[in-house]
Chains A and B, each alone.
Chain A
Amino acid sequence: MPGSKVKFTFPRVLTARPFHYCPGCHHGIVHRLLAEVLEALDLRERAYGVASIGCACFLYYYYDIDICEAPHGRACAAATGAKRARPELAVFTYQGDGDFAAIGLNESLQAAARGERITAIMINNTVYGMTGGQLSPTTLPGQKTTTTPQGRDPRVYGYPLKVAEILAQFPGVAYCARVAVNTPKRVLEARQALYQAFLAQLEDRGFGYVEVLSACPVNWKLDPVSAARKIDELAETFPLGVFRTWKDEKS
């Protein structure tokens, strides 16, 4: 159309397959953003993704790039092996909070501490999604899950694990941010964070980490709109923002 500008095209990195995610789930938005960033950085031909467990394990259906599957929690270790073997690859992991912060916490922290040149994306929806909504390390105090039917009691189950705040202390971490995708503005900020996290790897700065507060309407037992609003409540415990970036550091 004359005078009009193309603002969006379908990312080449994405396959045409429709997402299988539940209505109101934020995986679809994050997938799209990740695809846009991979394309913006021209990484299709050297991207290496690590698919983990849970709802996002079907990552390989949606991206036209090389993807390997890792066992529960071990994505950061597998990514380390791939990156060390072939440093020219742009290696990323896509993990849930259970995968990254419960069963895989050691591998995640150690890879970050080593400053592995990889990019880790943690989808934090405060529950185990695919297994049916059980307690996760990031479940909020008082939050009801199938294994905390009375709500998470911190005296029994402790307090939510704030992964971004932990990783921000690590000198090996070049970029660390927590974002959300429940408003258009936050979607753009999330895109920028993903971009920076890959840049940290491509510029050989260190470990890149993006945590995305993400809705799980089915396990939260909310409709999609209420679930998206609940993200604001999550952000009180898990504040949004950039916690560490190599750009702040004196070179």
Chain B
Amino acid sequence: MKPILVKGSEAIALGALAADCRCYFGYPITPQNEIPELMARELPKRGGVFLQAESELAAVNMLLGAASTGVRAMTSSSSPGISLMAETFSYLAALELPAVIVNVSRGGPGLGGIEASQGDYFQATRGAGHGDYHFLVLSPASIQEAYELTARAFELAERYRQPAMILTDALLGQMKEPLRPRKLRIRRYPVEDWALTGAKGRPGRTLRSLFLGPGELRARNLLLQKKYRAMRREARAEVLYAEGAELAVTAFGSLSRIVREAVEMAREKGYSVAFVRPITLFPFPERPYQELSARGVPFLVVELNCGQMVEDVKLAVCGRAEVESWALPPSDLPAPEDIYRRIRRCLARR
């Protein structure tokens, strides 16, 4: 298949179409408008539904309604818009609806700015709404991966009856790269046993999250937690140069590409440095962190925020090795050379 030159946001929309997404609801916000714009052009042609909502609140609730009927549906937004959706995120998780939510995040807090930032890591992985729940969170590092992981998100969402989020940022969303829009094998899971499609030939069905009976809510929560534990088998990470490493550098998403370049510069100079990139942010891929730290390999965690993923790394490392955080607030985009110098400083201290 011939590669095409597209933006990251467009690749996300194409990935959703490749997974046969039937409904898109959204509200414009920079820097992700290429997603609704592409969907507005393409979905009606394919017999699908595009609707621009009056707000992010409405968009995510339209998503809730569509997903409840067992149809593949998606919304996308950027940080402030994602915050507005938080209430319904809790309901999507509680009603166990397979919906896909894309956050092409920008700098915050507040109105922040439209530059690249990874400041929404906590919001994505801890659950932005109320109650004990999680989203599946996938974070692409390239435009090809943005396409493929978005499509995969639909499969995983359906498999676990569970909202799935693509967390990326303005950097990946706005840059262009060749994409091979190859056909993907995206599995379908049955929706007939839970979807609301009219009570034809069966009793009426309810999707609800209100449980007032004694012990009902506890049982409900324990069931959800069991599912979240089962989702751990989906944990994925990219691990390079682990063998004989004296230091492991870890980063996710768009920043991980700059980090990887720095790691490769260090290796060319003869330093033994490993590279670990979480692809799923929830479940967090603990294994490579456990394995490297068990050998005493320290970690350098680089993030485009004030230090969020470092908490998950510390939990996975569990005191077995040192974890150093290099947190870069919005507007602080490092060059590979900057990271390389930091790597050298880390190694020199040992």
A contact set with B: CB distance below 8 Å: 44-48, 50-51, 57, 60, 63-72, 74, 77-86, 88-89, 106-107, 110
Measured in the bound complex, the distance between the Cα atoms of B61 and A84 in whole Å is 12
Contacts of B88 in A (CB 8 A): 71, 74
Q: Which residue of chain A has the shortest Cβ distance to B87 in the bound complex? A: A71
- Knowing A74-B61, A81-B73 touch, does A44 contact B199 (C-beta < 8 A)? yes
Cβ distance A54 to chain B, nearest Cβ, rounded Å: 11
B209 touches A77 (CB 8 A): no
CB distance from A46 to the nearest CB of B (A): 4
Q: Could you write out 27 A-B pairs with CB less than 8 Å apart? A: A44-B199, A45-B199, A46-B200, A47-B199, A60-B204, A65-B199, A66-B198, A67-B196, A68-B68, A70-B64, A71-B87, A74-B57, A77-B53, A77-B59, A78-B61, A80-B51, A81-B61, A81-B62, A81-B64, A81-B68, A81-B73, A82-B65, A82-B69, A84-B23, A85-B69, A106-B54, A106-B58
Q: Which of A47, A84, A88 is close to B49, meaning CB atoms less than 8 Å apart?
A: A84
Interface residues in B174-213 (C-beta closer than 8 Å to A): 196-201, 203-210
A180 to B91, CA, bound (A): 33
Q: Are A69 and B57 in contact (CB under 8 A)?
A: no
Q: Are A66 and B199 in touch, CB under 8 angstroms? A: yes
Query: Whole-angstrom distance between the alpha carbons of A156 and B200 in the complex?
Result: 51
Q: How far is the CB of B167 from chain A (nearest CB, A)?
A: 23
Q: Is there an interface contact between B204 and A85, defined as CB atoms closer than 8 Å? A: no
Shortest beta-carbon distance from A94 to chain B in Å: 14
A81 pairs with B203, CB closer than 8 A: no
Rounded to whole angstroms, the CA-CA distance of A54 and B196 in the bound complex is 22
Query: What would 16 more interface pairs be, CB under 8 Å, given A69-B207, A78-B62?
Result: A48-B69, A48-B196, A65-B198, A65-B204, A69-B210, A70-B61, A70-B65, A70-B91, A71-B61, A74-B58, A78-B61, A80-B51, A80-B62, A81-B66, A81-B73, A85-B65
Pick the residue among B55, B91, B196 that contacts A71 (CB under 8 A).
B91
**Chain B residues near A44 (CB, 8 Å)?**
199
B209 contact from A45, A69, A110, Cβ within 8 A: A69
The residue that B205 contacts in the complex, of A66, A69, A79, A81, with Cβ under 8 A, is A66
Compute how far the CA of A89 lies from the CA of B200 in the bound complex, rounded to whole angstroms: 11
- Nearest B-chain residue to A63, judged by Cβ: B204
Per a CB cutoff under 8 Å, which of B54, B200, B203 touches A64?
B203
CB distance from A31 to the nearest CB of B (A): 14
CB within 8 Å of A: which B3-29 residues: 22-23, 25
A229 to chain B, nearest CB (A): 33
Smallest CB gap from A51: residue in B? B208
Q: Could you say which of A47, A50, A81, A106 has the most chain B C-beta atoms within 10 Å of its C-beta?
A: A81
Size class of the contact patch on chain B: 35 or more
Please tell me if the beta carbons of B65 and A50 are within 8 angstroms of each other in the complex. Answer: yes
Chain B residues closer than 8 Å to A89, beta-carbon distance: 69, 197-198
Closest to B195 in A: A66
Residues of A within 8 A of B61 (CB): 70-71, 74, 77-78, 81, 107
B72, chain A: closest CB distance, angstroms: 9
| Residues of chain B lying within 8 A (CB to CB) of residue A57 | 210
Instruction: Decide: B197 and A66 in contact? CB cutoff 8 A.
Output: yes
Residues of B within 8 A of A110 (CB): 53-54, 58
Tell me the smallest distance from the CB of A21 to a CB of chain B, in Å. 16
Report Cα–Cα, A88/B71, bound state, in Å.
Answer: 13
Nearest Cβ distance between residue B97 and chain A, in whole angstroms? Answer: 9
B333 within 8 A of A: no
A134 to B203, CA, bound (A): 37
B310 within 8 A of A: no
| Interface contact A82-B196, CB-CB below 8 Å | yes
A-chain residues with CB within 8 Å of residue B95 when the two chains form the complex: 68-69
Which A residue's beta carbon lies closest to that of B54? Answer: A110
Nearest B residue to A82 by beta-carbon distance?
B65
- Inter-chain CA distance A63–B203, complex, in Å, is 10
Q: Which residue of the partner chain, among B65, B67, B201, contacts A79 with CB atoms under 8 Å?
A: B65
- Evaluate contact between B71 and A85: CB separation under 8 angstroms: yes
- Give which listed residue, B23, B49, B57, B207, contacts A77 with CB less than 8 A: B57
A63 to B196, CA, bound (A): 14
**Would B207 and A46 count as touching, CB distance under 8 A?**
no
- State how many angstroms separate the Cβ of B155 from the closest Cβ of chain A: 19
Cβ distance B246 to chain A, nearest Cβ, rounded Å: 51
When distances are taken between beta carbons in the complex, the residues of chain A under 8 Å from B87 are: 71-72
C-alpha gap A137/B51 in the complex (Å): 29
Task: Please name all residues of chain A whose beta carbon is closer than 8 Å to the beta carbon of B204 when the two chains form the complex.
Answer: 60, 63-67
The verdict on A60 contacting B200 (CB below 8 Å), with A68-B65, A70-B64, A78-B65 known, is no
**What residue in chain B is nearest A113 (Cβ atoms)?**
B54
Residue numbers in A under 8 Å from B210 (CB-CB): 57, 69
Nearest-neighbour CB distance to chain B for A73, whole angstroms, equals 8
Contact of A68 among B49, B58, B196 (CB under 8 A): B196
Chain A residue nearest to B49 (CB atoms) is A84
* Bound-state Cα–Cα, A112 to B85, Å: 22
Q: Which of A77, A82, A85 has the most CB of B within 10 A?
A: A85
What is the distance, in angstroms, from B90's C-beta to the closest C-beta of chain A? 8
Q: Which residues of B contact A66 (CB under 8 A)?
A: 196-199, 204-206
User: Smallest Cβ distance from A103 to chain B, in angstroms?
Assistant: 10
Residues of chain A within 8 A (CB-CB) of B57 are 74, 77, 106-107
Known contacts A85-B49, A85-B69; A77 and B62 CB within 8 A of each other = yes
